[in-house]
Amino acid sequence: MTYEMTTYLYELPTTGSISFGDFCVDSTTSNAYASHIAETTQARANLRGILKEIKRTDTDDKDYLRLIKVLDDYLPYLYGITSCVTSGDIRLKSEPRFSWRTTLSANLFHSSPRVALVSLHADLAFSLLTYAFALSNFARVTVTSLGSYERERAISDIERKAKDEKLNFAVTLLCRASGIFTHISEKVLLEWDKAGEGASGRPPDLSKEVNAALAKMALADAQTLAIRKFLSKAAYDSEVSPGPPLPKSHPSIPLIFKFHLECVSLYSSARTLAMTPGSARPSPPPSNPDSNAEICAELRRYLADASAFHAALAHKWLGVDAGESAVREKGGEAVAWLLWAKKELEEMKESKRGRKGQAATELESVGVFLKHYKKINDSLTFQPVPKQQDLQVRIPTGILAVHAKPYMPPAPAFGPGSVEHARLQTEALELDDNDSSSDEAAASSSRRTYAGAGSYF
């Protein structure tokens, strides 16, 4: 797994082959589901095939959109099997074992360990996890293709707005991914716990805490892109003359630092959840030696770096807000906030960790604002510069610019809950109604004949 300044790049899992016909038995007298069982096997084989293909493909050419479409095809079949097993229309003659290669576990050799997990819940959880990974990676590819468009002087307003829409599309993908991670954490894993099927052998990838962390991270990544779109016009207008005075197109400064502060909260919470004891399962079975491993250090570093970077940007914009204030007493405060941001960005720039390039760019911007507000304070306002600890108590709470999109499972492709099943039930009811109407008509006719016969006497 690697990451840059855009969003996190997940290594996708792979999965072993399986035939649903080996453990699913059609319990209906008409053998109504035999063909659907075979179709489910084929849909999952397609999923296995695309995951293997992506594993062998260079990073820049991985077809995440195709993977999303394959998962959109497979999941209704898997929900169909589950629905039929629950209703008794399909019987399991043995417990299915699904083999998946984990990608979030930390281990000595940095290789993805393979685990075999029992129950349909396992395959649903891993399939949904892969779905959310694919959505996130597709968002990253979409953003990467845009380049630094808002700083291109030759770009037209129409072209910039078109790229704004693509950026917004990436935001939507990440909001969907966040909803899926939440669904796994709060619904799928809970149902798996209730079923009591092999829950003890789960890897960290399928812990409630880690999926809750991934949901927060995806939402924070989406918010990061939303902030970029929010500033896109102003960034374009500021390219010729960076720093103060701000262009008329510049959006609300308080909104900007509150958006960044919410990113800090989300990334920090995600990191805490990813490092909780619950994210590593104790006493794994012998077949799953790595299933108690911690979440990989790279993901934890990404969360730490993202949190620190957004904290620095929040401090920058708090300084700009104070500097642009009509209240003369805030000149020293503006300098203090910007000195704090400068210190944080310098530490990032000099570190061997991520976001060095972006930290360097922001450091230049902070330097321009700091020079301007310091000059004003030193020559006009003469306000004392507060200490960093004094600023801590002045930090407001953040706000969300975007919201996760709750995941709505698809209707089963067959069995109870499917469109086909509802249609057959409707037809059966209509047939019963017609039969009842015919019986009533016959009885009524018989009564009329009997009444007529009595008139002869």
Domain of residue 370, CATH code: 1.25.40.280
Residue 179 lies in a domain: yes
Residue 284 lies in a domain: yes
Cβ contact 104:205 at 8 Å: yes
Cβ contact 405:175 at 8 Å: yes
What's the CA gap between 411 and 413, in Å, rounded?
Answer: 6
Distance of CA 189 to the CA centre of its chain: 16
pLDDT confidence of 370, banded at 50, 70, 90? very high
Residue 10 lies in a domain: no
Structure confidence by residue, pLDDT tens digits, 238-276: 887 788 889 999 999 999 999 999 999 999 999 999 987
> Between these two residues, 30 and 179, which has the higher pLDDT value?
179
Residue 441 lies in a domain: no
Structure confidence by residue, pLDDT tens digits, 313-361: 999 999 999 999 877 789 999 999 999 999 999 999 988 777 888 999 9
Cβ contact 332:384 at 8 Å: yes
Residue 259 lies in domain? 20-392
Residue 180 lies in a domain: yes
Give the count of domains, the chain: 1
Structure confidence by residue, pLDDT tens digits, 184-218: 999 999 999 988 765 567 899 999 999 999 999 99
Q: What 3-state DSSP class applies to 26?
A: strand
Tell the burial category of 269 from Cβ atoms under 10 Å away from its Cβ (0-12, 13-18, 19+). Answer: middle
Residue 299 lies in a domain: yes
**Residue-averaged pLDDT of the chain:** 88
Residue 107 has pLDDT above 60, yes or no: no
Cβ contact 366:349 at 8 Å: no
Angle between helices 297-324 and 356-376 (to 10 degrees): 20
Backbone angles phi, psi at 288, to 5 degrees: -125, 70
Residue 417 has pLDDT above 50, yes or no: yes
Lowest-confidence segment of 101-115, 356-370, 396-410 by average pLDDT: 101-115
DSSP 248: T
Residue 436 has pLDDT above 90, yes or no: no
Q: What 3-state DSSP class applies to 24?
A: strand
Note if the pTM is more than 0.75: yes
Residue 4 has pLDDT above 60, yes or no: no
Structure tokens at 119: 């129950």
The whole-number pLDDT of residue 423 equals 84
What is the mean predicted confidence (pLDDT) over 296-300? Answer: 91
